[in-house]
Amino acid sequence: MTAHEKPGRKPRRVILDTGPAAAAEGGSTGILVRRFLEYVRHERALSVNTQQAYQRDLRDFSAWLAAGNPTTLSVRDLGDYLAALSKRGLARASVARQAATLRTFFAFLQLEGVVRESPAELLTAGRRADVIPGTLSPEQVDRLLESPETGSPSGRRDKALLELLYATGCRASEVSTLRLTDVHLGESFCTCRGKGDKERVVPLGRRAIVALRAWIKDTRPAFAAHAGSNPSWVILSSRGNRLSRMRIWEIVRRHADKAGVPPDIGPHTLRHSFATHLVAGGVDLRHVQEMLGHASIATTQRYTHVDATRLRSIHEKFHPRR
């Protein structure tokens, strides 16, 4: 009986592979996790962010399992683990992600012959709540984007960063890794690399182009000189290094406070505002999906919304019984 089982329970067990591969592993959770992480890194070539998410999730799972053996778990056992995460206060979306990690992990064990059937195959964590993320009004976005003092080098950098975030709807990680060769100001577009290293082309508006041109031409060379080399990233720190996601988040928060907009916003707020304002302006949802880099239109539908005021005005204008 494993440490997490309840007395009297007889959960369905996975069938163990008794061959040499399973024996060599000795049922060690740590070894199995390391093999899985090597697999997603080298064979599936998943993004660094995805690899890190898998590593965090499986670290939590290993801590919960303690000295237990993952190859002896049932779907009920895994359900208990997800329930424990929920009771600990983990958000529903995070629990759903943990469930997805377990499905992928046990599918790998099945592929490797460590188990013959996966207990996580039928694992569910309930539907994700369709929580609408915070968004800024166009007026609030204007105040935020006008916040940087463009008379200073760092202000011109921050201006270019904020304009880029809102103009493209890119994630902070995508802006952080954007290279000079990805930006085509003359043609008014840039190439972004999203999850799974998938590329997409996103148009650039006039204001973003002006801010980026001022940064790249007049200010960025002085920042790059501090690196002692020729950094390829578009947005640089004062030392000429690539700007981290955390630093981007800090810059957005600092200017939000200065502009008098909600203080709890971040780069993702600008991404959501970008999508919301496009949809409100009449852009087809499929086009928004392409610009956001969503694999499924359902994700875009959850990600965007139309405010109640606009719905009310449409109803009053077109409903025959208004």
Residues pairing with 191 in the sheet: 201
Backbone angles phi, psi at 277, to 5 degrees: -70, -35
- Look up 303 and say whether it is catalytic: yes
**Full DSSP string of 102-124:** HHHHHHHHHHTTSBSS-TTTT--
Catalytic site residue from 195, 213, 247, 302: 195
- Look up 171 and say whether it is catalytic: yes
Cβ atoms within 10 Å, residue 131: 10
- HSE-up of residue 311 (Cα within 13 Å, Cβ side): 4
Residues pairing with 279 in the sheet: none
Nearest CA-CA partner of 32 in 109, 107, 94: 109
**Full DSSP string of 194-262:** -GGG-EEEEE--HHHHHHHHHIIIIIHHHHHHTTTS---BSSB-TTSSBPPHHHHHHHHHHHHHHHTS-
Three-class secondary structure of residue 191 per DSSP: strand
Catalytic site residue from 156, 171, 277, 305: 171
CA pair distance 164, 208, nearest whole angstrom = 6
Nearest CA-CA partner of 85 in 72, 75, 70, 96: 96
One-letter amino acid of 76: R
- Look up 305 and say whether it is catalytic: no
Catalytic site residue from 157, 220, 271, 305: 271
- Look up 9 and say whether it is catalytic: no
Catalytic site residue from 97, 277, 303, 305: 303
Query: If you count DSSP H runs as helices and E runs as strands, how many of each does the chain have, helices first?
Result: 15, 3
- Look up 268 and say whether it is catalytic: yes
Contact call for residues 162 and 252 (beta carbons, < 8 A): yes
CA pair distance 186, 188, nearest whole angstrom = 6
Catalytic annotation, residues: 171, 195, 268, 271, 294, 303
